[in-house]
Chains A and B, each alone.
Chain A
Amino acid sequence: MHEFDLSSAIVQTVNKHAAGRKVTHITLRVGRLRQVVKDTLLFYLAIVGKDTPCEGATLEIIDVPAVLRCKTCKDEWEIEIPAFICGTCGPGAVEVATGEEFMVESIEVEDEKEAACTAPR
């Protein structure tokens, strides 16, 4: 259900960087811990992006695996279930290495001429 609001956040971010140009493609980087349902996100993006520069843009989602790191033994491992525990050192010193990302990685826009990127940072 959070995909609707996440879609709005994506469209807002993309349109800011598009700076009025038509967006043809959006690449997202989404960590597995964000619990985002891709099909639902696609469904809402089509609705939220309508009548904005995003309308009709294709979407690519780069899945980022949920990887934990133990601050004590420095071991890193990927998890498939939410168990935030180091097999060697226990639960105390575990941090998330990757998997919490929710980034707009890049967009492709239509330009009148071949110009360098002028999108605001």
Chain B
Amino acid sequence: MHRTKVRVVEDALDANNTIAGANRGDFDRADVTVVNLMSAPGAGKTTLLERGLAGLDEEGLRVGVLEGDVQGSFDADRLAILHIPVVQLNTDNGFGGECHLDANMVRSALPDVPLADIDVLIVENVGNLVCPAEFRIGEDSRIMVCSVTEGEDKPLKYPLMFRACELVVINKVDLLQHLDFDVDRLEANIKQVNHEATVMRVSAKTGEGVDEFRAWLKALPARVAAAAIHAHDHDHAHGDHDHGHDHPDHEHATA
């Protein structure tokens, strides 16, 4: 038996990224801006949506939600009061659920999502600070919710997640008076790993700062569209696509 070395040089997540690209194509054709909403369990994603999405349709933004959960429809039931399209996506495949959504799971739920009737689709990911950051689902933007009960050091412990996000919502600021928590330090740590991130201080419970979140969301479709036009012009100017892969030379790596 002869052994052959096969050069592969392929991102192991290419299969996921290909499906994410197909999702993105469907979203673009339907003119829907997609947000991947991530956080640790219990940071307040669903509460932020309950408060943040209420009445947005009357202000001209039609939002739908794809609820990713390991099991059950508790979150989708909570959002039913908003009278917006909410689709439940459970990751439990029989022997315990997945800890994140991947592109294929989102794709499987798309037939149930009324893309023609919405401007923005918010995909509420499974609560987890590690895996969701690695799997693109075809989103235009990523938001993470980080609550003040989690510790100021979280950006330094989960840089992969914090670096992936365009907006970090610091939630539960109404609790600050009861906690020994330095919210300025948290914000400095966020900026240390992701200087570009927009940071908001919010209490989804009292409503403090929620208007800022709503305004951000309302401005998102136009901003994403403008960025796409810019990227398109950039591609034409340079005649090449930047795939974002860096291939370091062998001598830079240590085996």
Contact = CB atoms under 8 A, between A and B. Distances in A.
A32 to B, nearest CB: 10
A9 B254 contact: no
A64 B12 contact: no
Chain B's interface size range is 35 or more
Contacts of A28: 12
Contact of A6 (B10, B99, B134): B134
Nearest to B102: A5
A60 B131 contact: no
Contacts of A1: 99, 128, 130-131
B3 interface: yes
Contacts of B13: 9, 102
A85 interface: yes
B253 A29 contact: yes
Chain A's interface size range is 35 or more
B63 to A, nearest CB: 29
A103 B12 contact: yes
Given A17-B6, A115-B4, A6 B12 contact: yes
A2 B130 contact: yes
A63 B253 contact: yes
Contacts of A111: 1-4
Contacts of B155: 82
A110 B3 contact: yes
A5 B134 contact: yes
B160 A110 contact: no
Contact of A110 (B2, B128, B245): B2
Contacts of B194: 84
B193 interface: yes
Given A2-B99, A14-B8, A94-B195, 12 more contacts: A1-B131, A24-B3, A29-B253, A34-B160, A85-B192, A103-B8, A107-B5, A107-B8, A109-B4, A110-B4, A111-B3, A114-B2
